[in-house]
A and B are shown apart, each in its own frame.
Chain A
Amino acid sequence: MTAKVATVTSGKGGVGKTTAVANIAVGLASLGQRVVCIDGDIGLRNLDVVLGLENRIVYDLVDVVEGRCRLRQAMIRDKRLPELYLIPASQTRDKSAVSPSDMVRLCDDLRQECDWILIDSPAGIERGFRNSIAAANLVLVMTNPEVSAVRDADRVIGLLDAEEKGPVHLVINRIKPSMVKRGDMLSVEDVLDLLAIHLIGIVPDDENVIVASNRGTPLAFDNKSKAGMAFHNIARRLMGEDVPFVDVENQGFLQRLFSGRK
């Protein structure tokens, strides 16, 4: 086993990184993959809450890095799936407790133990971001269809290019079909036109995402919702499957886009 390390990052805060890590992890684990999530948002941890594992935390990432416990002891197993684990962030320390080289070392140790390591990056482009991308084999950049979020995604893609980190894939989260139709929201095409990188997922805005996160049961556990399906599709694309895009905007548009560009 040699795991791939996939980091989810964004630049702008609140665009859905943590939600995506939890749901993509559930997607990959339901495909039989052995998945370890790492919460890279030290000091503001919340991946544990979204995954519903908060009450089982004993050791965290900083404990592993500072040698207070073995790697295994900090891996919380999610009992709903055979092979899904979380290494939580520390609530009480700040980002400087972990360095980029610590992350590289940690991921090297973990690589033999699983198929996927998913890292939830904090917002911004500072230390926590550098920690989160240090060991990445691929990066998912998330954005919302909003000018400011897209601008920050562009900045992050530029930084990733400069650091020669990649491949970089784009996830557009919280598309509202009705708003796009009225011309009140950037469309998938507008976002792609500017960012010009490979698209790996389009997730519709869905209030069930919020309900599910509050319950600690990521929406991807439920196979019926559109947003849940969108995350499953990202997982399958990460596995190399060629999954057609669900048309969340309007009929026929994505068809055109993707047949036109191939």
Chain B
Amino acid sequence: MAKEPSIVQIKGIREGLMVSFGDADWEALTSALINQIDERPTFYQSARMALDVGSHALHVAELASFRDILSEHGITLWAVLSGSSTTEQTAQNLGLATRISKPKPVETIEAAEAIPDDKALWIQHTLRSGTRIEFSGNVVVFGDVNPGAEIVAGGSVLVWGRLRGFVHAGAEGNEEAVVGALEFSPMQLRIAGKIAVSPKKNSKGNVEIAKWKDGNLIAEPWKSG
């Protein structure tokens, strides 16, 4: 039987299996994949799978139920790659990775590229323990960043709420990046290559901004102007 070009491509990568969906509707793609899995259950048993869904815009219900179906087949979905920002957001909400290898925070200064001012990720909810946000530009959180939550941003991070988690701003080397919060008590703070472990202080109601100054990482009360 001649094999027609499959709408589902599967290959092995260092982290497990990489599945790429071609051009078809979501139903067709998912059932094609499940069929393949059913044909070779032992091959797929306890596999870790990354899924490239192309430009499909997926919402929580669709992605979560597909993840559950995969898990019923003994497969752990750990990453979803997509060109759609809706899908990326959904994947992050579900705690899935959205790229295969994490960008290494660069400790050197030279490669610092200016972050275009208009590129910011706007997060409209509290980041709870176990959430990790990675973004190449600036990040604005309208909510709290709880202990156990992490933000890694290429640019600056502003928290309109209480910052009690981990933040790495200027993660690609940008020393101009700043971190600010309405209530400033991060578990740990990094800007570019500098690390500051927060002293246990009660900064209730203190609006503070952290930045590099004369080669040191400092946090100071925010003053306008």
Would you call A151 an interface residue if the criterion is a C-beta within 8 Å of the partner chain's C-beta atoms? yes
Considering only CB atoms and an 8 Å cut-off, how many residues of chain B contact the other chain? 22
B61 engages A164 (CB within 8 Å): yes
- The segment from B3-11, B24-32, B33-41, B127-135 that touches chain A is B127-135
- In the complex, are the beta carbons of A161 and B128 less than 8 A apart? yes
Minimum CB–CB distance from B208 to chain A (whole Å) comes to 19
A interface footprint on B36-71 (CB within 8 Å = 1, 0 otherwise): 000000000000000000000000110010001101
Interface hits, B81-132 → A, CB 8 Å:
93-95, 125-131
- A159 lies within 8 A of B130 (CB): yes
Produce 1/0 per residue, B209-221, CB < 8 A to A: 0000000000000
Jot down 20 A-B pairs with beta carbons below 8 A, ordered by A: A99-B72, A100-B68, A100-B72, A101-B69, A134-B68, A151-B148, A154-B129, A154-B130, A154-B146, A154-B147, A155-B130, A155-B148, A158-B127, A158-B128, A158-B131, A159-B95, A161-B93, A162-B95, A163-B94, A194-B146
Is A127 part of the binding interface, using a Cβ–Cβ cutoff of 8 Å?
yes
**In the complex, residue of chain A having the shortest beta-carbon distance to the beta carbon of B131:** A158
Interface contact tally, CB-CB below 8 A: 52
Contact: B130 with A158, CB < 8 Å? Answer: yes
**Chain A contact residues, CB within 8 Å of chain B:** 96, 99-101, 127, 130, 134, 151-152, 154-155, 157-159, 161-164, 194, 196
User: Any chain A CB within 8 A of the CB of B22?
Assistant: no
User: Complex Cα distance A164/B125, Å?
Assistant: 13
- The answer to whether A101 and B129 have CB atoms under 8 Å apart is no
List chain B residues, Cβ under 8 A from A158.
Answer: 127-131
Contacts A100-B72, A134-B68, A158-B127 aside, 4 further interface pairs with beta carbons under 8 A come to A127-B71, A154-B147, A154-B148, A159-B130
Contact of B60 among A100, A101, A157, A162 (CB under 8 A): A162
A194 and B147 alpha carbons, distance in the complex (Å): 9
Shortest beta-carbon distance from B98 to chain A in Å: 14
- Determine which of B64, B68, B128 lies in contact with A101 in the assembled complex, contact meaning CB atoms within 8 Å: B68
Query: Which 4 pairs across A and B sit closest by C-beta, in order of nearness?
Result: A158-B128, A155-B130, A162-B93, A154-B129
